[in-house]
Amino acid sequence: MGTDTSALTMEWATSLLLNHPGTLLKAREEIDNNIGEGRLLDESDIAKLPYLNCIINETLRLYPASSDLVPHVSSEDCTIGGFEIPSRTIPLANAWAVHRDPNLWVDPTSFKPERFHGVEWEKGGFKFMPFGLGRRVWVCGL
């Protein structure tokens, strides 16, 4: 199953780039300018390619590997989005819906990698969560 979701995500990324040739050209220019044309990309090159990272994030925002995030159990009674959640409840989060919420994203159904340029994750909150937020995320006040 993990291989299937990775392959589908790559398919979506390829499709998005083919349907947005300006984005593809910008990514290719970034790779050529920072890596060169003589070799394939390596994992250590990712830090030098911020626009490519934006493309990856935008692809995962529009087409997350799984629409539902990994379930967590609330450790105590709390309130989430105005709803009272008793302890030992398993709330399910729909990443697909969060990633396309017009209250959180400008033009949420459009492919715009630039929206991730310069985002400071510590200050930006948790509106982008393609794989979840970690095992200790469900705390009161979220």
Q: What digits encode the pLDDT tens for the residues 63-72?
A: 888 777 777 7
Q: State the Cα–Cα distance between residues 137 and 75, nearest whole angstrom.
A: 10
Q: Which residue has the higher pLDDT, 118 or 102?
A: 102
Q: What is the pLDDT of residue 132?
A: 54
CB-based contact 48:62 (threshold 8 Å)? no
Give the pLDDT band (50/70/90) at residue 78.
confident
Strand 83-85 relative to strand 78-80, pairing:
antiparallel
Residues 103-129: pLDDT tens digits? 988 999 999 999 888 776 545 545 666
Long-range contacts formed by 51-55: CB under 8 A, 24+ apart: 51/26, 51/27, 51/113, 51/117, 52/27, 53/116, 54/113, 54/114, 54/115, 54/116, 54/117, 55/13, 55/16, 55/17, 55/23, 55/27, 55/113
pLDDT the model gives residue 127 = 61
Residues 6+ apart with CB under 8 A from 43: none
**The predicted structure's pLDDT at residue 117:** 85
